Amino acid sequence: MEHTKAWTTYKAKDIKALESLAQRYRAFLDAGKTERECVTEAVRLAEAKGFVNIDSVKKAKPGTRVYANCMGKALLLFVVGKKPIIEGMNILGAHIDSPRIDLKQNPLYEDGDMAYLDTHYYGGIKKYQWVTLPLAMHGVVAKSDGTVVNITIGEDESDPIVGISDLLIHLAREQMGGKASNFIDGEALNIIIGGKPVTNADDKEKEPVKAGILKILEEKYGIGEKDFISAEIEVVPAGKARDFGLDRSMIMAYGHDDRSCAYPSLEAILNVKGVPERTCLCLLSDKEEIGSVGATGMHARYFENTVAELMNLAGEYSELNLRRALSSCRMLSSDVSAGFDPNFASVFEKKNAAFLGRGICFNKYTGAGGKSGSNDANAEFIGWLRKVMDDAGVNFQTSELGKVDAGGGGTIAYICALYGMNVIDCGVPVLSMHAPWEIINKADLYEALKAYTAFLAS
């Protein structure tokens, strides 16, 4: 099936709305390079739109707008509808964690007269892509006295940046002959953070460069070497999201997976007008890139626990009512899709590939091999969705994650499907997914917002 190039359907007002959305999205990306920063920014935007913390609410009624913050890393935003919650919600679910490089608990060392931070990468990365890049450090240090220090180094123009070295080509004969997965060893992802001895170092100082770094950490942030034990510092590409292409049709940025779906999902819920028919929920989850595990991942119970709290506030709670509500939900598991890349055409099957600029993409199933690990969305649900999309004039396409047996991947869809709800994967196609700098087309972002808005109102 030949899909429409979304751009050819646009009038002047669409282009204006699309560019304005792209600008807000870039600002969100620049403010949110970690899951924590995304939650902070989303809460700020939500409060400006009248959402309040669910803990401060005594009663929920149609039109109530609340958010629930899960450990500062995952967020649920609700707009209570006219119908009882037991009849089900319209859910937009995306994730706000992205592949990156985390610091180890004992990271700091000195070697070759340089100071380094040792790391453990997070999520599926091609390790060779992360060397020789300007990198920034974002995160928190939780001290034993209970204070939490926020760290952002490398984003301001006046900040220093950090990074990882690669072997010079002149001595790389053995490296270049090896497998790409072994070009850079996981243990070689060491961040260079210093190169001069501490002032007034005497001969007894065994690690004078490390000592210099420790002095800076103490002076600037009030943290010592032991404080890394209770820190979460993420090393990410330094720099801002930028328009991409001479025609400015695309955006290159860190973290399109999955913020290109999380952000329009957030806007869609923040812009719900008045009181919707069904209760609307935007769910921004963490840890998707490592299997949705942990207290803030989709496998955790915070989602159903919070729905239970909301039903309680609405005077609807019982264990059975909660189960009925969850199984009656409809959900768009909003995650990015593999965009067709002509440079690597052999891994795609063109009839069932997502093209950049042809609109939001629905993936009936993901998984690997014989659809293993996939949520295979119901045909009836997709039939219903087609009408919602067509009525709202949404440009959409359908795809698979590459050719059969070329690889595979998963999202949070199969986890939500465990409740018995109808759920389908749906999102923005991305080029160079999981690379430090990924590419999306602005038209697909715009169609995502249109699709999510129409879905919440359906």
Least distance from Mn ion to the Cβ atom of residue 434, Å: 6
* Closest CB to Mn ion among residues 385, 428: 428
Q: Would you give the distance in Å from CA 370 to the centre of its chain?
A: 27
Task: Tell which phi-psi region holds residue 76, choosing left (phi > 0), alpha (psi between -120 and 50) or beta.
Answer: beta
Burial category of 221 from C-beta neighbours within 10 Å (exposed 0-12, middle 13-18, buried 19 and up): middle
User: Which among 232, 299, 241, 310 is positioned nearest to 52, based on CA atoms?
Assistant: 310
* Closest CB to Mn ion among residues 37, 335: 335
* Closest CB to Mn ion among residues 207, 257: 257
* Closest CB to Mn ion among residues 136, 430: 430
* Closest CB to Mn ion among residues 35, 335: 335
Least distance from Mn ion to the Cβ atom of residue 444, Å: 15
Neighbours of 182 (CB within 10 A): 11
Q: What distance in Å separates the CA atoms of residue 62 and residue 85, rounded to the nearest whole number? A: 10
**In this structure, which amino acid lies at residue 274?**
G
Q: Which two tokens stand for residue 414?
A: 């199969």
Least distance from Mn ion to the Cβ atom of residue 330, Å: 20
Q: Which two tokens stand for residue 161?
A: 């940046």
The interface mask with Mn ion, positions 35-64, x = CB under 5 A, is: ------------------------------
Least distance from Mn ion to the Cβ atom of residue 150, Å: 25
Least distance from Mn ion to the Cβ atom of residue 298, Å: 11
* 97 is a contact residue toward Mn ion (CB under 5 A): no
Q: Where are the beta strands (DSSP E) in 132-244?
A: 135-142, 148-153, 191-194, 231-237, 242-244
Least distance from Mn ion to the Cβ atom of residue 257, Å: 4
Least distance from Mn ion to the Cβ atom of residue 95, Å: 6
Contact by Cβ (8 Å): 397, 362: yes
* Closest CB to Mn ion among residues 279, 337: 337
* Closest CB to Mn ion among residues 110, 257: 257
Least distance from Mn ion to the Cβ atom of residue 256, Å: 9
* Closest CB to Mn ion among residues 258, 444: 258
Which residues does 275 contact at the CB level (< 8 Å), separation at least 6?
A: 62, 63, 79, 80, 81, 82
* Closest CB to Mn ion among residues 54, 430: 430
Contact by Cβ (8 Å): 372, 408: yes
Per CB under 5 A, which of residues 303..342 are in contact with Mn ion? 335
Q: Which residue of this chain has its Cβ atom nearest to Mn ion in the complex?
A: 258
Least distance from Mn ion to the Cβ atom of residue 336, Å: 5
Task: Tell which phi-psi region holds residue 432, choosing left (phi > 0), alpha (psi between -120 and 50) or beta.
Answer: left
Per CB under 5 A, which of residues 242..271 are in contact with Mn ion? 257-258
Count the residues of the shown chain that bind Mn ion, applying the rule CB under 5 A: 3
Q: What distance in Å separates the CA atoms of residue 341 and residue 346, rounded to the nearest whole number? A: 9
Helices and strands, number each (H, E), in the chain? 11, 22
Residues within the interface to Mn ion (CB under 5 A): 257-258, 335
